[in-house]
Structure 1
Amino acid sequence: MENSTNPFLNQNSWPSKNANGDLLYPNLAPPDYKQSELNSKGKFMDTYVEDMALVMKASDFAARRHRFQKRKDVRGTPYVNHCIGVAYILTNEAKVYDGATLAAALLHDTVEDTKTTFEEILEHFGQEVCDLVKECTDDKSLPKDKRKQLQVQHAAGHSHKAKLIKLADKLYNLRDCERVIPVGWTPQRTRQYFKWAKEVVAGLKGTNDALEMALDDVINRYLS
């Protein structure tokens, strides 16, 4: 949408309950769950299962909230592909497997680009995920140019996990731009986007070597 810092969105909300009034996102922890009774292996497996459940829950939530949105490409790719792609970059390239980080990556555009609220994110995904989504969400009450300026200014001050999400988000978008210019864009606008992204990434340095090297490669290749 044009009034969003997100230039790739070509909007909609999903209720928290289904037609029968049942919660779409109930508490996933079993009623007899007792962490103290688990041994070290059990604790590891339980954490893995909880993280997996959280990520799958976030995937479903993101798909519902972005369900009518498309990317700005000639194929009209479903927008949620971007959210999934950001999470995939984190796991496949950055080797990040933390459930909260991956869930927030999947949800990072829900508040900014749909009618989702932070209260919903908090209710369904907890404080840590909500805080990460907040760090990745621009203030839509500000002009677009101001929001882009603040992304540059605030980059270095974000938490480590939020920086990871931002790096993966930029990498996905830049690769998309390199592959094909977004619909409605000019080569000049695309080049300006790369220059702005380079400024943001500069403030995120020291977060993850693999992501930073990949970003340097795509940025330098395009701007050379």
Structure 2
Amino acid sequence: MTTTTMTDAARLLDAASFAAGRHRDQRRKDAGATPYINHPLDVARILAEAGVADIEVLMAAILHDTIEDTDTTADELAERFGERVCGLVLEVTDDKSLPKLERKRLQVAKAESKSDDAKMIKLADKTGNLRDLKSSPPAWSEARIGAYVQFAELVARGCAGISASLDERFRQERLRFD
């Protein structure tokens, strides 16, 4: 079925099924080794709860880590989900060929220049990560957790101002670390 003949609900579920298949062998870094797919689904849910109803933004949220963390290609996403969804995923994807610190630096540096839709996805991503970090932390030192919280705050600052609801959700999660 092409994207033009599928309902929005079917398109969203197709993105979820695709992402679940691609992330099927991946786990989060928490003590319970939570299935990775829970994270992109949570990012989309955070957006939906904040009032985002654009189906392609929600699809991109679900797919946001497929290029970065699986063998999925941009061409594959564009063909299956359309150019806009693929473009949003690419906007929030880190270049894994770069060292980790450089990827983090670029996330902060480029946050302000992203499209509004990509900013919302990135802000929901950081909000979900903070929520997970507090409720089910990985075996990280307090210093490493603190460094991630500071990093997330810098990225969120560059993405702020698009959605008051998303800004507030991030702020509430951030406050849990004080």
TM-score range, shorter chain: over 0.9
Q: Does 1:27 align with 2:7?
A: no
Q: TM-score, normalised by structure 1?
A: 0.76
C-alpha distance after superposition, 1:88-124 (max 9, x if no partner): 11111x1111111000000000000000000100010
Which stretches of structure 1, 4 residues or more, deviate above 2 A after TM superposition?
none
Contact 1:51 1:98 in 2 (8 A): no
- Give the SS at the match of 1:207: coil
Check if 1:66 corresponds to 2:16: no
Structure 2 counterpart of 1:191, from 117, 128, 146: 146
Aligned 8 A contact 2:3 2:81 in 1? no
Output the TM-score relative to the length of structure 2.
0.96
Provide the secondary structure at the position in 2 that maps to 1:203: helix
Partners of 1:167 and 1:211 within 8 A in 2: yes
Asked if residue 115 in structure 1 is aligned to residue 71 in structure 2, the reply is: yes
Q: C-alpha separation between the residues in 1 aligned to 2:44 and 2:173?
A: 19
Partner Cα separation in structure 1 for residue 126 and residue 33 of structure 2: 20
**1:206 maps to 2:152:** no
1:139 match: 95
> Once the two structures are aligned, what percentage of the paired residues are identical?
47
Larger helix fraction of residues: 2
Residue 130 (structure 2) pairs with residue 155 (structure 1): no
For 2:171 and 2:154, how far apart are their aligned partners in 1?
Answer: 11
Count of aligned residue pairs for this structure pair: 178
Give unpaired runs (5+ residues) of structure 2.
none
What is the aligned-residue RMSD (CA, Å)? 1.2
User: Which protein shows a greater Rg?
Assistant: 1
